[in-house]
Amino acid sequence: MMNDERRGTRSERPGTSETSLAARRAPFASRLSPLAVIGDMVRSDFQNVIRCIRAKTAAIFFDNLALFLQTDGLTRNYDLIFLLESGFLQYSLRDIQRLQARWPLARIVMIAGSLAEGEGRTGWLPPELIRCSWHQWETEAAHEFAAFCEHRPASWGLPPTASDEERLGFKLRASDFGLQKARFPMPAMLPKSVILADDPAMREMLADWVTQEGFDVTSTGQSHLREVMDAVVAGAVYFDVASEDFAETTATAQFLKKRWPSACLTVFYNAPRSDEIRLLTQAGVNRVVAKPFFF
């Protein structure tokens, strides 16, 4: 049995402390249907997620998916459904399909706990949902959640069928590309974008996105960086980190910022911690995007 507090009846009732606090902190949240959160809310992996959700908007909490479908399956509409995945393959493909059939327009966000984040390596991932690791909440997902609640452009607002590549491209388009176009309103004025990546696939993917936005692109690896630095005046720099040495990464970021001080510097970094993001920001990085993009 689930008590009233876990069921969420108090968070739904206008005028109670939880709803009023969320409304004061997030004035746009009242436009959203209540959010559903399903899974083990006691698990330490998900504590930051739960705190952030409760601070932003009203939410209804369920211990398991079966109870959620039995209780709310025919009575409510949801804009956003969170699945907290504590273990490997906790939610089956049939479970996901039932949710998608009942709420085809809802965004389903799966937060993978520490024992579930390696599913992408098995070749199986649930289709047509947003999935991120528990350690990416603070660095990536929390910003998307806030934008979604406040009805600002967010990759979570894309159709449920959008791919991970499309979502990542949207994030860049909404931030880096928008900033550059605001600074240079005439297409002919747009400066070059430099892509620094040793991985050819990453270089190609980033080059496609940047070129589609109308920017002239120069792509290079670390071995040819100095040649590019001497020849190009850049307005945006995209640095894909391959090294596991954080000090080396920070030094490269400082080096890039020193050469192009007015450029928007975006760094793609593997599972960054909050302290690493802070240090990279101090080094001049404008945006840190967590890798891997899918798990």
The model scores a pTM over 0.85: no
Q: What is the CA radius of gyration of the chain?
A: 21
Q: Are 4-162 and 165-291 equal in CATH topology?
A: yes
Q: State the CATH architecture for 165-291.
A: 3-Layer(aba) Sandwich (3.40)
In this predicted structure, what is the pLDDT of residue 121?
52
Is 28 a residue whose pLDDT tops 50?
no
Q: Exposed, middle or buried by CB within 10 Å (0-12, 13-18, 19+), for 33?
A: middle
Q: What is the mean pLDDT of residues 64-71?
A: 83
pLDDT (tens digit, 9 = 90+) per residue, 91-126?
888 888 888 888 888 889 999 888 876 655 555 566
**Fold for the domain defined by 4-162:** Rossmann fold (3.40.50)
Alpha carbon distance 38, 158 (integer Å)? 22
Residue-level pLDDT at 241: 92
- For residues 164 and 144, what is the distance between their CA atoms, to the nearest angstrom? 14
Domain borders along the chain are 4-162, 165-291
| Structure confidence at residue 196 (pLDDT) | 92
The pLDDT, as a whole number, for residue 295 is: 36
Q: pLDDT averaged over the chain? A: 76
In this predicted structure, the answer to whether residue 253 has a pLDDT above a threshold of 90 is: yes
| Whether 253 contacts 279, CB under 8 Å | no
pLDDT of residue 20: 31
d(CA 277, CA 261): 19
pLDDT digits (tens, 9 = 90+) for 143-197: 788 888 888 777 787 777 777 677 777 766 665 555 555 555 544 455 688 999 9
CA 287/CA 253 separation, integer angstroms: 11
The number of CA neighbours under 13 Å toward the Cβ of 166 is: 11
- pLDDT over 90 (residue 2): no
* Residue 221 near residue 248, CB atoms below 8 Å: no
